[in-house]
Amino acid sequence: MRWKNPNCPPTSENYFPLTTHFSAKLFCAAALIAAAVFSGIGAPAAAPEPRSESFTYNIQFLLFTKAAQGRLSIRPIGGRRYRAELTAETKGLAGILMYGRENHYISEMEFDPIRRRFISRLYIKQVRKQAGVERTEAVIDTESGMVKWKYFWREKLYGKGHDPIPEGARVEDLLSGLFNFRIGGLGPVERGRNITLFTLPNYKAKATNEGEDSEEEEFQKFEIRIPTAEAERAYRKRFGRSGEKGLLVLVKVPKNLFGQETGEVRVWLDPEMVPVATTVEDAIYYGDVYGVLVKPEKRR
């Protein structure tokens, strides 16, 4: 089901603002893995109670060492409900060139103490750019097996609809997925293990007919791979990290998210399982885009 307003939002932009899009997704990838392994590989099933946390990252590409900054956080909002947020904002000269673009992602989740995992209930993506603000809202109703979505441009409703959740699938938004890793909600983290997550479609594409009948309009997948020790040694040799200790995790994302040829994100973690570097490989216009943790997590 789809409803459309004839006042169409822009469907293309100058390529510079793509950086914050890359940045926000890169923060998610890094934080996803940080959450996944912070308790250690093969963490026990009994996870600690969810608590407030925050991470800060700098983004680098080309000659810009601080092109953007992102902050990831989670906090309780009452009862068993939690609010996770990710903000990414361009800075300095890059911010001027990109008109101060800002991406804001919000996930409201319910914690299930029996299954010990978060259940995504509401996901919001808001992007502020020079031409205006666009916002996507998705209500995930696991009881009825439907996702109800709306797309807004400049505060006007442009499209809405509802999609059935794929049979047998557990849909995670970007933030619920990463924090479910944190508490072991997706199983243990082990070398050689592969994990596949279903995530939401591109609702802007559905509302504007961009990519009609393409993979962007379907429920997409994230594939997380923890290489074997032998494979990791080969990666470390290739990327000049042979002398470092820690863990490598590879995240395969839909190519449309980053505009990549490979769709691969590399996340390097130190022995304490803190992500020290993340790379979005072969991003269009930028080559490799790097994320660097600059402020450790806070817990309370």
Other beta carbons within 10 Å of 98:
24
- Which pLDDT does position 154 carry in this prediction? 93
- Which pLDDT does position 287 carry in this prediction? 58
- Which pLDDT does position 269 carry in this prediction? 78
Evaluate whether 43 touches 189 at the Cβ level (below 8 Å): yes
What are the residue ranges spanned by the domains of the chain? Answer: 32-295
Q: Mapped to the 3 state alphabet, what secondary structure does 203-224 carry?
A: HHHHHHCCCCCCHHHCCEEEEE
User: For every one of its 300 residues, what pLDDT tens digit does the chain have, with 9 covering 90 and above?
Assistant: 444 444 555 544 433 444 455 555 555 555 554 444 443 344 444 445 678 888 787 877 655 566 677 788 899 999 899 999 988 877 654 444 455 578 899 999 999 988 889 999 999 999 888 889 999 999 999 999 999 999 999 999 999 999 999 888 888 888 898 788 767 787 777 889 898 888 888 888 888 876 544 555 688 888 888 899 999 999 999 989 998 888 888 887 766 554 445 567 888 877 766 667 777 766 545 556 767 667 666 566
- Which pLDDT does position 255 carry in this prediction? 62
Task: For residues 258 and 79, give the distance between their C-alpha atoms in angstroms, rounded to a whole number.
Answer: 36
- Which pLDDT does position 45 carry in this prediction? 45
